[in-house]
Structure 1
Amino acid sequence: MAEQDWVSDRFAEHQDRLHALAYRMLGSAGEAEDAVQEAWLRASRADTGQVENPGGWLTTVVARVCLNMLEARRNRREESAGALPPEPDVPHASVHPAGQAGPEDEALLADSVGAALMVVLDTLTPAERLAFVLHDVFAVSFGEIGPVIGRSPAAARQLASRARRRVQGAADASDAARSAKRDIVEAFLAAARGGDFAALLDLLDPDAVVGEASGGREVAAFFAGRAQAARLALVDGVPAAVWSHLGRPKAVLTFTVDDDRITRIDIDTDPDRLRDLDIVILTAGDKERR
């Protein structure tokens, strides 16, 4: 009983880190919770007499559970292609003592990468993903990572390096794509407010659709002279437009862009869905406000 109490105390002490690790590894709050619960069961049955670093030991236990879950997920996808997990709300990176940026800030770039990061992480092998997340996000040494994935420290370093290059590439691509889409949405709103039919046609794909309106000319006619109160925004990190009343979002316009042309505009007015969105209104000079 005393040993189980010791495990419970250590788990409580490190639970935030363990949940964060599982969340980063799996990209799903539900799966992360399952992983931590499974890790607790394993830890409660283990012989802890020789454990000298409880935090490191529990990190390893959670990492191994996550590795098994990632491999099982990969096997399922080989049998039947499934949807990628939804983008999680990624916790902010921490700052290490003495004001030094932590490995989260230097390598993960989670806040700026958003969905692109989760997509590229999902394309990594389980071993690559684990090596990258453990080392670059949680500062676990390659000497500790190697045994978890059954590789040498040097091989673990190579896996993390390969994953890091792909994540950095995703960050650059995501930033470029977001910037281009923002320009298009901003130009669309300006043309709509000004009733500039020709400018709207230039921005719209000939087969663009919005609601029941189909075709570039119909969509342009629908928006010309409208959207006066719509504001450029980031909605879950993606450029969009938001119409608010008394500070509350009433409608969100999301844009599908292909080859620099808007192919689809979706208008969502459901208050329950809008309440769950992360909305940042953008103002002039690239300043952001909630």
Structure 2
Amino acid sequence: MDDKTETFERHRRRLFGLAYRMLGTVGDAEDAVQDTWLRWHRADAAKIETPEAWLVTACTRLCIDRLRAARTEREHYTGTWLPEPIIGPLIELEVAPAPDMVPGELADDLSMALLVVMERLSPAERTAWLLREAFDYDYGQLAVALKKTEPACRQLVSRAQKHIAEARPRFAADAGAARALAAKFTAATQAGDVAQIAGLLTEDAMLWSDGGGKAQAALNIIHGADKVARFFGGIAFKQPGDLRRVPCLINRQPGVMTYEADGRPYSAMGFDIRDGVVHTVFIVRNPDKLARVPAL
């Protein structure tokens, strides 16, 4: 392996982590990383002072272009759009935490809840926030990466921080308690116990369900504990009786994968847990977004 290839491979996982957070799908992230490699391969290494910064900047700009195109497609998406889930140990994403960051908190946050919030940001806001908070870029580096002034970059980060802070819990759920709650919630939904389901939800609970027009799913976000509980009660006995439910990590958060009798993935269900109860349920049923999940 030559020096140029070795340098790129050393940063590949980092670039994928950035691209996935930007684009929300594994395939698009992989394509962005591959395009970054092609640009890197054609570049004159002798003129590049800091390879890592060059690679991150190149990948960032490719992602912004892809994100703008994807936004047009998502406007015509059938039902609610959710990111492609990353299941269990499918891949580990690495980022470098900022010095003032609690290790494993923001830098490792791949949760559906965060990615959904980031969908509300403009491409520039999303990029500025990611590079600043998860990759520890200073505002001078942001200005170069985004081709904007430093004051403009500060405004982008500030706006993004405000949106994200409003939508994210102040404290992360204890991992053990979160797993136990996920298991209890899954059992209640399997049994169709509406009262128990409602008792495990916050009053302002939400359900996001993504079928992409290719699998049965709620077309709109369902709001309120009672309505979410009744939704699960209604589908409990309409689903195939031989589904297998397997606890797992979905985007590094406790969740459950459901499989059909022949082992094909049926759905991925993740949770946003706040104050010991479920605030949001995310269900991905679009088969395109489950295609990378190994059969059981």
Q: Shorter-chain TM-score: which interval?
A: 0.5 to 0.7
**Percent identity, aligned pairs only?**
30
One-letter amino acid matched to 1:153: E
One-letter amino acid matched to 2:225: D
After superposition, the Cα gap between the structure-2 partners of 1:105 and 1:154, relative to the gap in structure 1 and judged at 3 Å, is farther
Is residue 64 of structure 2 the alignment partner of residue 67 of structure 1? Answer: yes
The answer as to whether partners of 1:108 and 1:167 remain within 8 angstroms in 2 is no
User: Displacement of 1:29 after TM fit?
Assistant: 1.3
User: Displacement of 1:55 after TM fit?
Assistant: 1.0
| Aligned twin of 1:196 | none
Is residue 227 of structure 2 the alignment partner of residue 263 of structure 1? Answer: no
Query: How many angstroms apart in 2 are the aligned matches of 1:153 and 1:25?
Result: 21
* Structure with greater contact order relative to length (CA < 8 Å, sep ≥ 6): 2
| Aligned twin of 1:45 | 42
Is residue 109 of structure 2 the alignment partner of residue 110 of structure 1? Answer: yes
Is residue 155 of structure 2 the alignment partner of residue 158 of structure 1? Answer: yes
User: Displacement of 1:35 after TM fit?
Assistant: 0.5
| Aligned twin of 2:10 | 13
3-state DSSP class of the match of 1:274?
Answer: strand
Query: How many angstroms apart in 2 are the aligned matches of 1:116 and 1:106?
Result: 14
Query: How many angstroms apart in 1 are the aligned matches of 2:45 and 2:161?
Result: 34
After superposition, the Cα gap between the structure-2 partners of 1:93 and 1:15, relative to the gap in structure 1 and judged at 3 Å, is closer
One-letter amino acid matched to 1:274: T
| Aligned twin of 2:123 | 126
Mapping of residues 226-237 of structure 1, within 5 Å: none
- Within the candidate set 50, 55, 58, 2:55 is matched to 58
More helix by share: 1
TM-score (norm 2): 0.58
How many matched pairs? 217
The answer as to whether partners of 2:97 and 2:107 remain within 8 angstroms in 1 is no
RMSD (CA atoms): 4.6
TM-score (norm 1): 0.59
User: Displacement of 1:157 after TM fit?
Assistant: 1.5
After superposition, the Cα gap between the structure-2 partners of 1:51 and 1:15, relative to the gap in structure 1 and judged at 3 Å, is same
3-state DSSP class of the match of 1:35?
Answer: helix
3-state DSSP class of the match of 2:169?
Answer: helix
| Cα deviation digits, residues 50-85 of structure 1 (max 9, x gap) | 11111111111111111111111123345x356524
The answer as to whether partners of 1:116 and 1:171 remain within 8 angstroms in 2 is yes
After superposition, the Cα gap between the structure-2 partners of 1:94 and 1:102, relative to the gap in structure 1 and judged at 3 Å, is farther
The answer as to whether partners of 1:35 and 1:66 remain within 8 angstroms in 2 is yes
Mapping of residues 63-102 of structure 1, within 5 Å: 63-77=60-74, 80-81=76-77, 83-89=80-86, 102=101
User: Displacement of 1:260 after TM fit?
Assistant: 3.2
Query: How many angstroms apart in 2 are the aligned matches of 1:39 and 1:271?
Result: 40
- Which stretch shows the higher mean deviation, 36-45 or 85-94? 85-94
User: Which 5+ residue runs of structure 2 have no aligned equivalent?
Assistant: 208-220, 246-256, 260-264, 277-296
Query: How many angstroms apart in 2 are the aligned matches of 1:6 and 1:160?
Result: 35
User: Displacement of 1:43 after TM fit?
Assistant: 1.0
The answer as to whether partners of 2:16 and 2:93 remain within 8 angstroms in 1 is no
The answer as to whether partners of 2:107 and 2:134 remain within 8 angstroms in 1 is yes
User: Displacement of 1:109 after TM fit?
Assistant: 7.5
Query: How many angstroms apart in 1 are the aligned matches of 2:159 and 2:243?
Result: 42
User: Displacement of 1:153 after TM fit?
Assistant: 1.4
User: Displacement of 1:49 after TM fit?
Assistant: 1.5
After superposition, the Cα gap between the structure-2 partners of 1:22 and 1:150, relative to the gap in structure 1 and judged at 3 Å, is same
Higher Cα Rg, which structure: 1
One-letter amino acid matched to 2:127: L
Query: How many angstroms apart in 2 are the aligned matches of 1:39 and 1:52?
Result: 17
User: Displacement of 1:96 after TM fit?
Assistant: 5.6
